[in-house]
């Protein structure tokens, strides 16, 4: 039996009453990420090969770093991911984050996050497991009510 899949792939999804375009903006614009992604400000031109970074709320510290692998607005965004906010995760190999947005009936979109290639990043895998749940429920709350989860 394969033991590789247990910690190397994580899949999360959430249904949001919002258009794919709104969700895409919420993922790629700092004025949105700062309201549900632990206060972090995303920075990227979104071109393949470009940096995909997340800065601390005061923009002094680089919290996450990576490179855009694929950008297909407003359907799919994939980038490498290194969590620099913690010493143990910062020392690990990059993993990969992929966002997929699918339009459903009734003005609802299905948002899926796949965090994989965690083979050489076990601490990161452990660290992000609760985080994605928090981020996705916060993103849904923000888009559906206009209010972030935390103040």
Interacting residue ranges for other proteins, rule: CB under 8 A = 1, 5-7, 9-17, 104, 106, 108, 112, 114, 133-134, 136-137, 140-141, 149
Structure tokens at 32: 């949105």
Q: How far is the CB of 11 from other proteins (least distance, A)?
A: 4
**26 versus 44: smaller Cβ distance to other proteins:** 26
CB of 66 to other proteins, least distance (A): 21
Spatial distance between the Cα atoms of 8 and 14, rounded to a whole number of angstroms: 21
The residue among 15 and 91 lying less far from other proteins, judged by its C-beta, is 15
Whether the link from the prior residue into 74 is cis, omega within 30° of 0, is: yes
Helix locations, the chain, DSSP H = 5-8, 20-28, 30-33, 87-90, 122-145
In terms of CB distance, is 44 or 128 closer to other proteins?
A: 128
């Amino acid at each position: 039996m394969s033991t590789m899949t247990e910690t190397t792939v994580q899949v999360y999804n959430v249904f949001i009453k919002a258009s794919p375009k709104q969700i895409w903006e919420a993922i790629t614009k700092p004025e949105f990420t700062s309201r549900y992604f632990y206060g972090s400000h995303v920075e990227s031109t979104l071109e393949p090969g470009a940096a995909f970074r997340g800065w601390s709320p005061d923009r002094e510290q680089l919290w996450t770093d990576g490179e855009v692998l694929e950008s297909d607005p407003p359907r799919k965004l994939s980038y490498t991911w290194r969590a620099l906010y913690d010493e143990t995760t910062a020392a690990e190999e990059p993993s990969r984050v992929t966002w997929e947005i699918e339009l459903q009936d009734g003005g609802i979109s299905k948002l899926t996050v796949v965090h994989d290639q965690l083979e050489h990043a076990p601490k990161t895998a452990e660290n992000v497991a609760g985080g994605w749940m928090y981020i996705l429920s916060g993103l849904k709350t923000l888009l559906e009510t206009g209010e972030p989860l935390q103040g």
